[in-house]
């Protein structure tokens, strides 16, 4: 008589077990490795923190320092030649199907570990137990065999491919290639779905890249981040402390003259500022683009409109960029509001300007907007005066 394991389940029971076990692994990655270790968006009590470390050792063999270091480097070097796993550089197919290989290769980069791996666990357990990946996954295989017999091997195999495919492949690949964007962040990150359930909330990747230190990955009312739900439960139990979430804009009465507090509020809520800027000028964009079409300008209007709304021209092919610039020069109103937009972006772009200089630039921008003769710019300037720190 063959051994069928300690638990004799119906066929669907094994599927449920596999889904539950892999979901715990996903939750461990997003809560512990990603939000807690890599970005310090929350503090965890030692009990859940050690449970997550132990579980990840059993189910993935990933070393905390390696994962955090590689992910931090990804944010620091995103969509460049130094990005460990950018589909924009390496190709979607490479990252989607060989994401785990890219992770292992980068984990051997001593410079990456030294520069980006700071602050991760370095206790006796980490050095003598959790750094030995093969032991954990071997123990998991044996436990599965004892519990579920030969089918335990199938469950174990699913556990072993779950993170390499969904996290290293889909999130690092597809979520930098296809999806929708709430925020015009500097890289290509997208939200794959508005419901972050299967991959623990990581589906909301554009939100994360826009506000990397937020413990909550959902931003819109229709988005759901199951990882955030678990964090809230841990918080209510006194096992987690949230440090940061996506900032929500606050408004007050319009100030006669913008000051440093206004500047700080605008920089903090820059994505909201740019969204409102595009919305407020939507009517002008439509009118001017219609005129361009009527005048016989042959260009990709959809791409041109997207370029007008974007903060930067990154990623626009040189030939198309020159065409856009030439077309823009034929519309004084479009040229003016585009130049004003670029000046706004410079307020939060990296520069050596002092605080006083930046405030002066903002005051000058508002004065010129209100004297422009363009009603929408005047109204938007007044709106800027209401942003509160």
Q: What are the tens digits of pLDDT across the range 294-310?
A: 777 666 666 666 666 66
Residue 344 predicted with pLDDT over 80: yes
Three-state DSSP class for residue 27? helix
Given a cut of 70, is residue 178 above it in pLDDT?
A: yes
Going through 41-122 in order, the beta strands assigned E by DSSP cover: 42-44
Give a yes or no: residue 134 inside a domain.
Answer: yes
Domain boundary among 242, 273, 305: 242
Longest CA–CA separation in the chain, Å: 90
Within this chain, do residues 170 and 283 fall inside the same structural domain, yes or no?
A: no
- pLDDT value, residue 352: 82
Task: State how beta strands 42-44 and 240-242 pair.
Answer: antiparallel
pTM for the model stands at 0.86
- pLDDT given at position 200: 96
Same domain, 330 and 212: no
Q: Which of 216, 242, 268 is the last residue of a domain?
A: 242
Range of the domain at 178: 11-242
Same domain, 235 and 380: no
Shared-domain flag, residues 266 and 303:
yes
- Compute the distance between CA of residue 257 and CA of residue 378 in angstroms, rounded to an integer: 14
Cβ-Cβ contacts under 8 Å for 159 (sequence gap 6 or more) = 18, 21, 22, 25, 59, 140, 144
Q: Which residues pair with 180 in a beta bridge?
A: 191
| Number of domains composing the chain | 2
The neighbouring-strand residues paired with 242 are: 42
Secondary structure E strands in 193-281: 195-196, 224-225, 240-242, 250-251
Instruction: Encode pLDDT of 345-356 as tens digits.
Output: 888 887 788 989
Query: Average pLDDT of the chain?
Result: 90
What is the reported pLDDT for 83?
Answer: 94
pLDDT of 1 reads 47
Whether residues 171 and 312 share a domain: the answer is no
What is the pLDDT, as a whole number, of residue 329?
76
Mean pLDDT of all residues in 118-141: 94
| 172 and 41 assigned to the same domain | yes
Query: Do 42 and 88 belong to one domain?
Result: yes
Instruction: Say whether pLDDT at 324 is over 50.
Output: yes
Over residues 36-51, the pLDDT tens digits come to 999 999 999 999 999 9
Q: Does 2 map to a domain?
A: no
- Using 50, 70 and 90 to split pLDDT, how confident is the model at 279? confident
**Could you tell me if 170 and 35 lie in one domain?**
yes
Rounded-to-integer distance, Cα 114 and Cα 374, Å? 53
Average pLDDT over residues 187-194: 94
Q: Are strands 250-251 and 387-388 parallel, antiparallel or unpaired?
A: antiparallel
pLDDT for the residue numbered 283: 85
* Residue 4 within a domain: no
Identify whether 140 is part of a domain: yes
| Residue that terminates a domain, selected from 186, 219, 242 | 242
pLDDT at residue 288 in the model: 76
């Amino acid at each position: 008589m063959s051994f069928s394991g300690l638990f004799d389940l119906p066929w669907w029971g094994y599927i449920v077990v596999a889904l539950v076990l892999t979901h715990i692994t996903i939750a461990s990655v997003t809560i512990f490795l990603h939000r807690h270790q890599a970005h310090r968006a929350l503090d965890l009590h030692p009990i859940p923190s050690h449970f997550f470390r132990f579980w990840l050792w059993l189910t993935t063999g990933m070393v905390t320092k390696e994962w955090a270091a590689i992910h931090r480097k990804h944010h620091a070097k995103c969509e460049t030649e130094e990005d460990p796993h950018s589909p924009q550089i390496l190709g979607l197919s490479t990252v989607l199907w060989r994401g785990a290989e890219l992770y292992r290769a980068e984990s051997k980069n001593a410079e990456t570990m030294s520069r980006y791996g700071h602050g991760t666990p370095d206790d006796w357990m980490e050095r003598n137990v959790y750094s030995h990946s093969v032991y954990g996954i071997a123990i998991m295989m044996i436990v599965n065999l004892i519990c579920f017999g030969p089918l335990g091997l199938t469950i174990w195999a699913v556990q072993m491919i779950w993170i390499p495919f969904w996290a290293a492949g889909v999130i690092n690949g597809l979520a930098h290639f296809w999806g929708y964007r709430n925020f015009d962040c500097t890289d290509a990150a997208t939200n794959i779905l508005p419901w972050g359930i299967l991959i623990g909330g990581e589906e909301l990747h554009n939100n994360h890249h826009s506000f990397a230190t937020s413990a909550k990955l959902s931003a819109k009312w229709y988005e759901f981040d199951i990882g955030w739900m678990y964090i809230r439960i841990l918080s209510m139990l006194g096992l987690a402390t949230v440090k940061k979430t996506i900032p929500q804009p606050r408004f007050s009465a319009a100030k006669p003259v913008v000051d440093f507090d206004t500047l700080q509020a605008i920089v903090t809520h820059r994505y909201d500022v740019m969204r409102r800027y595009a919305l407020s000028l939507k009517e002008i964009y439509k009118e001017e683009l219609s005129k361009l079409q009527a005048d016989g300008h042959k260009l990709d209007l959809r791409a041109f409109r997207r370029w007008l709304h974007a903060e930067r021209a990154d990623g626009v092919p040189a030939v198309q960029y020159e065409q856009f610039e030439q077309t823009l020069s034929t519309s004084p109103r479009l040229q003016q509001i585009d130049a004003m937009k670029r000046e706004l972006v410079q307020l939060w772009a990296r520069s050596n300007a002092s605080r006083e200089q930046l405030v002066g630039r903002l005051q000058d921008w508002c004065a010129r907007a209100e004297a422009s003769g363009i009603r929408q710019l005047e109204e938007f300037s007044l709106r800027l005066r209401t942003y509160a720190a």
